[in-house]
Every structure is written in C-alpha cells, then in structure tokens.
Amino acid sequence: MSDAVSALEGAREDGFATVEELGLKGMITLRGGLDTPEVGAAVEAAVNLAVPGRGEVLIADGGDHAVAWMSPDELLLVMSYEEAEASLAGMRDALQDQHALVVNVSDARAVFQVSGAGCREVIAKLCPVDMSPGAFGPGQFRRTRMAQVPAAFWMPDDQTVQVVCFRSVAVYVFDLLRGASATGGEVGYFG
Amino acid sequence: MSTRLATGGRLLDRGRSTEFTFNGKRLRGHPGDTLASALLANDQMMVGRSFKYHRPRGIVASGAEEPNALVNMGEGARFEPNQRTTTTELFDGLTCASQNHWPSLEFDVGAINAAFARFLPAGFYYKMFIHPRPFWKHVYEPFIRQSAGLGKAPRDRDEDTYEHFHAFVDVLVIGGGVAGLQAARAAGQAGARVLLIEQTAHWGGRAPVDGGTVGGAPVDKFVEETVAELEAMDNVTLRRRLMGAGVYDHGYVLGYERVTDHAPDAPGPRHRLWRIRAGQVVTATGAIERPLSFSGNDVPGVMLASAVRDYAVDYGISVGDRTVIVTNNDDAYRTAIILRNLGLEVPAILDARAGGGGALADEARGLGIRIETGKGIAKVKGGKRVEGVAICAQAGEGAVLEEIACDAVAMSGGWSPVVHLWSHCGGKLNWDEAQAHFRPDTDRAPTGADGTGFVIPAGAANGELDLAAGLKDADSAGKAAAKATGHKPGRKAAPKAEEQAGNPIEPIWMMPQGAGIKLRMKSWLDFQNDVKVSDVQLAAREGFESVEHAKRYTTLGMATDQGKLSNINGLAILSDALNQPIPQTGTTTFRPPYTPISLASIAGEARDRTFQPIRRTPMHDRHEARGAYWEPVGAWRRPYCFPRDGESIDDAVQREVAATRERLGLLDASTLGKIIVKGPDAGRFLDMLYTNMMSTLKPGRCRYGLMCNENGFLMDDGVVARLDEDTFLCHTTTGGAENVHGHMEEWLQTEWWDWKVYTANITEQYAQVGVVGPNARKTLQKLTDDDISAEALTFMGWADVTLNGINARLFRISFSGELSYEVAVPASQGCALWDMLLEAGNEYGVTPYGTEALHIMRAEKGFIMIGDETDGTVIPQDLMMHWAISKKKEDYIGKRAQQRSHMTDPARWKLVGLETVDGAVLPDGAYATAEGHNANGQRNVQGRVTSTYHSPTLGRGIAMGLVLNGPDRMGEVLDFPKVDGTVMQARIVDQVFYDKDGEKQNV
C-alpha cells in the first residue's frame, strides 16, 4: 500500500496556530447496539477501549487509537491506516451473529490538526460550537458543520484540535483552517 | 469658524499629528480624533449635500446617529461609500471625499432642486412619474437613477479579509457606558459568563463629558475603576469597537467588530462578525438626543447640543466662537456651561419652556449667560454656514423679536432611549409622557424558547436618564440577567451617584408652535433624505395615516441612518396632524442592523477559494494537469472533456467518444454515490426503495434499479450490487448520494424503525474508474492474475480482484453500450490506479473521457439520465421503463401514486427517440408544436426535447424527447420552432440508436 496517498499529502501552514494535514488514518464506522456486550468486545479488541458515552471520545496509546460516539447507534474507530483492514475483519467476525455494520471509511476522510494556544479560536471562527474551555475540551467529540461542510473534531490535549472531514473537501477545509489561523486574526477571546 | 482649541481634548494624543486628505486637500488631525472631529478642527463644517435638494450639509452629531457627514472612504480596492465620519477613527493616510455633489461640494448644480423645493414635496415622484407608463422605463428612471444615490459603488475587488466568530455567554451586555459597565459588573460578580461590548474605542459612554459624581468621586474615576475590575475577572470579557448589530430569536445576537478600520495596515481581518448565543441580553445602549424642528435647522453649524460639548471636551474643538443654545430641557445647559468655561461665547440660551430650567440653568445664569425663556428660533440665517438666528416667542407664529449673530447653534429636543436592540426581537415600548419619549415596557420583553424574556434594558436605554437612577437600574439589570441564567447575584448595592434635580422637559415638536407653511417647509426632520415638517403633514392630509405608510410616502427614516434623529420627531408631527396621541401613532419597526454593517462581514470567509466547497475526486489533480475542461456536477467538479492543444471543446468530445467506441476510454466515476445497506431486512428494504425486485439478486451480481419518491416521480437510478446475503451496495447518481442516503434513513427512522437495516454512505471511500471499450478486458487482464474472462465475470457481475497489488472491485456494467468495467479501489490509491490504467492502456490508445462523451454514448444507447429525461414530474412509465417495475411486488415507494388517474392517463407524454430530418442538432429543451393556440395565445405543444447531441458514431444529430402518444407515432415528423423563428423538423424513432441488440457489451 505504499502508493496510498492522503488528500493533501501532509500540507502545513503556520499562522497564529499551526494547521497540518495528518496524512492517512485508519477509520472504521460501526453501527449497532452500542450497549450490547458483543459491540463492547469488538471495540475493545480493535482499539483496546470501551464504548464512549454520548458526545465523548476515548483515546489510548498516545493517540494511536481512539473511539468516538457518532450517534446513538454509531461509533467511529480510529487507528493507523495499516491496521484498519485487519481490525475490520476481526470486528466482522466478532459481530457476525449480531445485527451490526462495520465498514472501512479510512479513505473517505481527511484529517487535520490545528495546534497552538489559539486552536480553539480557529475552530470558533468556523463552527457554531462553544469552544470555551469550560464547554469543550479533551475527551469530548463534536460533529458539526465547518463553514459549509460537515466536520467532526476532538481535542487530544488542550492545545490541539483534530478535525475530520470528507476527503473530497480537504482542499476547502485546509483553506478554511489556514484562513482562520492567519497571523493578525487572533481574537483573544478564550483567555 | 470651527477650530481646535489651544488645550483640551480628553481622547487626543496632542503630541502627535496625523495626516489625511478630504476632497484632495491635505489636512491634519491627532491620534484619537474621529474623522468628523478632525474635519471640524480644519474648519470643514460643510461635508456633503442632501439627497433630494442637494442642500449643504454639516456635521450634526458626534456618534452613530449622524445623518449627514458621510463620505466616500479610501481608494481602489479599499474604496467604500457612505462611511460615517463621526464613527470613523482617524488614521494616518486616510483619504476621503464628500458625496452627492457635482461638480464640487462648494458649487453644486443639483442644488437647483432646492429652488424648486416647493414643487418637489413628498410623493412627488409617485405622482409625477406614473404617467404615461412607458415614460417610466425610458425617460424618468434613467434620469432619476443618475441623480439618485449618495455614495459611489466600489469598482474594484475588496482586498481585505473578513471573518465570523461564534461566542456563547450567559450574559451579553451591549453598550460600554456607565450602565453597561455596572450591569456587567453585577452579572460578573454573580459568576455569570459575561461579554461586554462597546461600539466605540472608549469606555464610559457620555458620562465623562456630561460629568457627575459616583461615590463622591468624578464619574471618570468610576469608569476607570470599573473597567479595571472587569478586566481582572476571568468570567468577563470586554471588547471595544464591537457593536451590537441585531438581536434575534432565542438569544442569538450579531455583533460587528471593526478590527482594523482604525489601523488598515495592521494584519488581520478588517471586520469580524460575532455570532453570539446569549442566555440573557442586557441592552445598555444609551440615548440619542433629538433635534428641534425650526426653520433652517439643517444649515451647517446647527448641531445637537450634546455633540457640541462632545467635540469640545473629547477633541478640544470649538464648533464656533459664538454658540446659541436652543432647548426644551435642562440637559442642553451643560453645553453652555462647558463652552463658557472654555472661554467661548454663548450669546444666549433660548429655552422654549416658559418656566425655564432648574439647577443647571441657575449655574449657567451664574456664569453670566443670557437666558431667554419661552423663546425659540424663528429661523437660522445663513446658507452654507450659520450666520445668526432670529428669535421669536415659542408660543407665537414666528414674528422675529431679535436677531442674534452667531456661528453655531446647539439644539436639544430631549433624549430618546436607544430601544433598537430591545425592539428587534419584539420588545414593546411605552410612551413616557413626563420624559416625552418611548421607553421599553419591561413587562413585554422579547421572549425566548421558554416564553420568558431574554432582553433586559439598562440605564438611559431604559429611560433612566439620570446618572444615579441609571446606575441603580443597570445594577439590577445585571443581577436579573445573572439570576435568569442560573447564578446567584450578591447583595452588594449599586454605587451611589449624586442625583441631579432639574425641571422637566416640555415636548416641543415644532418651533415656534404656530409656525406658518414657509417656516415648516424649511424645518427639517430627516436631514439625509430631505423630509420636512410640511412633508409629513402633507402625507397625513393625503391619507397616509399609518406611520408605516407615512414613512414610505415621505421616505422619513429610510436613509442610511434609518431615522435615528428623525423618527420620533416625525411621528410626533404625524400624531399632531392626525390629532391623536403619540402612542396611538406608534413607531415604525426597528430592524437590524443598528447601523449598516459591511456585506463582506456577513459573507465572512465565504469568498475566493472558500466561496463554496468544491468536491474533488482523488484524481482531480491528474485531470487538472491533463487540461480538463471542468463541469460542476452538484458540488463536484468533473471533467467535461480533455481538450488537447488547439482542440475545441466540441472536437475533444467527439474524439473521446470515437476513441472509446473504437479502442479504449477511461472515465473518472468516483463521484457516483455508494451506499452500503446491510441487515437481515436489507433485501426487503431495497424492494420498497426500488421499483424492481432487489431481494432476488444473487451475491456477486448487479442489477439496475429505479428509485421513486412517494409521489411516484423518478428521483434516482443506479446499479445495485449484492455483496453478500445481508449486504448490498447501492450506486446512486453523482448529485443524488446525500439525498438518497437521507431518503433511506428517513424511511428507516420514521416508518420502518423496527426493520433491521443499517446504512452507510461510503461514496468517498472509493476511487472508481470506468474502463470502457473493445480493449477494456485486455487492458485489465494485463494487470491481474485473477480470471476476468467473459465466462468468469459475465455481464452484470462483479468480482474482487488484485490489480498490480491494489485490492479492487470490478463491476462489469456498461452505461455506454461497450464492453465496460467499473473499477473501485480505496480513494487513497485512486491516482495509482489511474496511472496504472493509462500505462496498461497505452498500447490500445487509451483516451480519458469526460462527462459529455459519457452523455453522448448513453444517449446513443437510449439510456435515460436523471435530470435530463426526468425533472421531478416524470414517472418511470413515461420513460417506457415498465420492464424495471416489478409486477410481483405488493408495494414499493411510489406504487400507489403511480396508480392515480393522472399518472395512468394515456395522454402523458412518453419517451421516444428523435432524428432530425437534415441531420442537425435539435436545441435542448425545444418544444414540438401542435395545431392551434392555447388560452394565452401561445402555440399548443405536443412534446419536448430532453437530451440532444451530435452523435459522432452516427454522424448526425440525435435526441430523446417526451412526446404525446410518441411510441405509437413512429416515423411521424414533428416541428420544433427555434428561438430565431426558424423551424427544425425531427422524426420520431426508437430511442436506441446504436447496437440495439447489445452485442458490443456482451463480448
């Protein structure tokens, strides 16, 4: 799979926050009964994490693995790109007697990281989300819109936001993020 | 003349100077000046001309309410008209020019209108230009357009950037005067998240100019200490140059931040639109002084009394050496006292009240200022500048008692609370008889989702004009807002200010009260739109009794200032003319924004590269490099064709069709929607979604299906592949993926919630390439060891294969009629696949083709295209697709609708092929005419063209169309009139023009 390339091949721009494309990530969509033991076991086997609560993301192994709550019957599992196919097969096996859907969506996505003290402001310019530290922080997961496209994000730590969008709009989202983080555009709102 | 005083100017940095130009003249000001104060410092009292009569116009106010002093600002990519000089902070290098005059500000040809003012009353245009009707378009409108409009439209692209910002707070306090500061403090101390915004660059509002003491110390100190205290609070944010523009439902507020207007060379956006969600909104927006309506009140040099003292105290400006004060309330005496203490002349204070003023009047009298009670101004002398006033008894008809020479007039007709933001979302007003103004009725506040109020007015904006009362009111507003958002306010009392006793205002709507028509025709209400007392009275006489009608008939309050100075005076005149109390007349509607905001701030980031998201396939850059001519399909960009050097678009398309049919073509089909449908009930579910049977499809096989909405109309089509017993992959049209996915989820979530089906839209997971043409299999076989022979992978089958190490899924389907495969690989390997196919196909003359070649090839085969053959009113039966409608199934979405009488009407137009008699190409959408005319005198029609192309394969024009009884009329020739008046003829034929037996795709 050496010829697999991400949408923007690691593009990066430094403003008052740094925006970079993180390259290929493994992602699996799981739909099923989130409170069933089978789903719990499948998630644990894949990413060594429990099923997250509403609006939450759980992260393990220094960020290499994560699982996010997408909706009452949907999870997003994050891992390395190379792991995804094997994890997928394992989960399908584990869930074969269940009514569940697991599907690889690694290639359907682009992932960006916004880092620096101003990362909250960059998001608050583009998404109708309360980004103040008391309202959103590490451990939470948000599906929303970013300007005119769907997006989701979480904060691995207080200085970093990771944004997931559809691959086809990677250029648009990168342009949005670098515009919102351009030097001189600091808002100074979140202290 | 107006000039800069030797000392003073609390907002100025007098040690430095700032250079700017006005109408090409180089002038100087100081940092801290507004453009208006800097113009006054240079004796530029006259700054423009009025809209209708081109009367000379001077600066009237010192803030957001200014109607006159608007300029064309900047040049080139930074040009912007109608910029208010009173709210424009001066910066080095500022250039501006006055508006609405020709050829020059001093000498203006349009001013001739003023000479005919008697013939240009309210409604003149409506009455004059209505007849004869054709004259409006060809004579009147072009003439009026030329003379209308204040500023010029910008010509160049705006080079600045703009952005939005989303903020969420418990309490938003709008207005940074003493009331706003105190409200923010009270809410902040209770622990609420508070955002305090102020439209100017300074805290404290009017208080530092108007004076007073809080807790025994000057009010300036209170401002300073409160700001410092708020800045130290973690839960409070203070922002200047951020105006509350509009209050909307459920606590949504738009704020307009002018980030770099005052420093245009600084990096960063010019404006930032704040989209604020607040639990409670405190409007501490202050009050606006009203002008008095006397003859000549529009002559440059006549200003609001508050503005005269603002310029003196804030900017060290003397508006004139001798200033006559005219008032109906105590407040204007402050101006007299300040001017006199600065050593300037105040020849007289004309107090229209017979009883005169209170304590402030005594103070003025003590300074030796002449006070005339019961007197007013009969008329102002002077044209481009005040030269004097003629005084009269307010009670009389304007007989001149005395003329007083002066070069400025400071007027005060009382104060109107700024109720705009309170009113935007439905806050109601009461008329306060004692203070002669509308103020918020706090029992009828704008209500939120829970039915309780979410806006609380504070201080002067709530009609509490006195400093002491205002602070107290603001304190309780702040506490109430905190409480309403779940916080516990402290018991600390509001700071105490010294109360100021005075005599009450007397409402004076016309000066003198018995002014004759000559005076009334020169008594301005709306300075920018040239509406006078006489115009409003005329409107009332002509039956425009509703305040909203009178507004539109006279244009009162319809200028860029939206009547901040004129509305209350105008409706008082209207009430008087209608002989009814003011509350019965009521106000016009207050609508956002409070003052005009830039359109660019509303657009925010949505411009240039980020104007709209463009969806790119994984191979987009490859196509770009090949010189693709792009076509938008939904939000996607798809290559329409790939013209070679010097090749026309048409030629490229024809070449691509021929090369594909004869040798090998490649199509980027990644945009096709791909939706996984999985579960024990998946087959049953798809049987309901598609008109044909899907549950009988075998794993490994594909089937084409039609999808209708509940009204029976065709909405999408595509190939469904069964991946395993429980899993289907549904392909949709490019533009239909999200819609179809939403359609599926809606039925699953609302109707069949107990069916065991999950869906996932995986459109973007795959790059998909159509490999099409007689050499398609040979090309693919070069890349794989898997058996893809005609026997192993038959038509309408699919198989997982490995192509040079890439995991791929091969669908043997054809939309062109050729031997054809669609190859799907993970999107990240799309470019690798594309490159690989180009290389492998090289020996067969591989040709990438675009959407137009795709369209032509499908039309040659008679295949329909959603959006061409369908338009939301077409059912599958119209398209003769009965073969794709299952007769065995009990039900599918749309089945019932398709049984309704109109759907089964044999007269519905049906799909046929059309072949032009002379081989030319029919125009798209052309109608076939029938005998006779309809009720509207139009030709009757009997069909229309849905798709039309030049077919390179057949060397002639081919088309499809919907025609009345079409399938029964094979061979008949129809007339298709063109827009140029000529008529084309086409013969009804079978719609399959090419390879009717499907031999080519079955090899």
Give B93-102 pLDDT, tens digit per residue.
Answer: 999 998 876 6
Residue closest to A70 by CA, chosen among A101, A46, A38: A101
Q: Is the ipTM of this complex over 0.90?
A: yes
Looking at A1-76, list the stretches that DSSP marks H as alpha helix, in order from N- to C-terminal side: 37-47
**Contact state of A179 with B163 under an 8 Å Cβ cutoff:** yes
Distance between B828 CA and the closest CA of chain A, angstroms: 5
pLDDT at residue B51, as a whole number: 78
Hey, is the C-beta of B126 within 8 angstroms of any chain A C-beta? no
Res. B506: pLDDT tops 60: yes
Contact B807, B825 (CB under 8 A): yes
pLDDT digits (tens, 9 = 90+) for B68-83: 999 999 999 999 999 9
Residue B202 to residue B220: CA distance in whole angstroms: 12
Residues of chain B above pLDDT 90, percent:
90
Residue B529 to residue B33: CA distance in whole angstroms: 27
Residues of chain A above pLDDT 70, percent:
99
- Residue B456 host element (H or E): strand B455-457
The whole-number average pLDDT for the span A59-73 is 95
**Contact state of B764 with A182 under an 8 Å Cβ cutoff:** no
pLDDT at residue B118, as a whole number: 63
Longest dimension (CA), chain B: 115
Res. B525: pLDDT tops 60: yes
Residue B210 to residue B208: CA distance in whole angstroms: 6
Residues of A in contact with B738 (CB under 8 A): none
Residue closest to B424 by CA, chosen among B249, B247, B277: B247
pLDDT digits (tens, 9 = 90+) for B654-698: 999 999 999 999 999 999 999 999 999 999 999 999 999 999 999
Judged by CB atoms within 8 Å, which residues 801-830 of B form the interface with A? 806, 826-829
Q: Residue B128 — pLDDT band, cuts 50, 70, 90?
A: low
Residue B528 to residue B782: CA distance in whole angstroms: 79
Res. B302: pLDDT tops 90: yes
pLDDT at residue B500, as a whole number: 82
Q: Residue B48 — pLDDT band, cuts 50, 70, 90?
A: confident
Over chain B, what is the mean pLDDT?
94
Residue closest to B210 by CA, chosen among B319, B334, B329: B334
Q: Give me the residues paired with residue B480 across strands.
A: none
Residue closest to B111 by CA, chosen among B121, B119, B100: B100
Residues of A in contact with B762 (CB under 8 A): 103, 105, 108
Res. B147: pLDDT tops 70: no
Res. B740: pLDDT tops 70: yes
Residue the block writes with tokens 């930032």: B272
Residues of B in contact with A169 (CB under 8 A): 613-616
What count of other Cβ atoms lies within 10 Å of the Cβ of residue B942? 18
Q: What is the DSSP letter of B356?
A: -
Q: Which residues contact B157 (CB under 8 A, 6 or more apart)?
A: B77
Judged by CB atoms within 8 Å, which residues 425-464 of B form the interface with A? none
Residues of B in contact with A111 (CB under 8 A): none
Residue A79 to residue A26: CA distance in whole angstroms: 5
pLDDT digits (tens, 9 = 90+) for B742-791: 999 999 999 999 999 999 999 999 999 999 999 999 999 999 999 999 99
For the entire predicted model, the pTM comes to 0.94
| Secondary structure tally for chain A: helices H, strands E | 4, 11
pLDDT at residue B138, as a whole number: 72
Based on the number of CB atoms within 10 Å of its own CB, is B866 exposed (0-12), middle (13-18) or buried (19 or more)?
buried
pLDDT digits (tens, 9 = 90+) for B556-579: 988 888 899 999 999 999 999 999
What is residue B305's three-state secondary structure?
A: helix
Residue type, position B971, single letter? G
Q: Does B147 or B651 have the greater pLDDT score?
A: B651
List the single residue in A103, A166, A171 with the smallest CB-CB distance to B764: A166
Res. B175: pLDDT tops 90: yes
Residues of B in contact with A108 (CB under 8 A): 762-765, 827
Contact B20, B38 (CB under 8 A): yes
Contact B425, B318 (CB under 8 A): no
Contact A112, A17 (CB under 8 A): no
Hey, is the C-beta of B676 within 8 angstroms of any chain A C-beta? yes
CA distances from B42 to A93, B4, B5, B70, B961 (A): 84, 8, 11, 17, 74
pLDDT digits (tens, 9 = 90+) for B370-401: 999 999 999 999 999 999 999 999 999 999 99
pLDDT at residue B570, as a whole number: 94
Q: Residue B124 — pLDDT band, cuts 50, 70, 90?
A: low
Nearest CA in chain A to B275: A128
pLDDT at residue A179, as a whole number: 97
Q: What are phi and psi of B423, to 5 degrees?
A: -85, -20
Residue B869 to residue B864: CA distance in whole angstroms: 6
- Residue A176 host element (H or E): helix A170-180
Residue closest to B445 by CA, chosen among B464, B419, B475, B471: B419
Q: How many CA atoms lie within 13 A of B15 on its CB side?
A: 0
Residue A180 to residue A173: CA distance in whole angstroms: 10
CA distances from B819 to B653, B782, B861, B943 (A): 20, 16, 13, 34
Nearest CA in chain A to B679: A99
Provide the terminal-to-terminal Cα distance of chain A, rounded to the nearest Å: 45
Distance between B175 CA and the closest CA of chain A, angstroms: 18
CATH fold for domain A12-180: Gyrase A; domain 2 (3.30.1360)
Q: Give me the residues paired with residue B282 across strands.
A: B173, B456
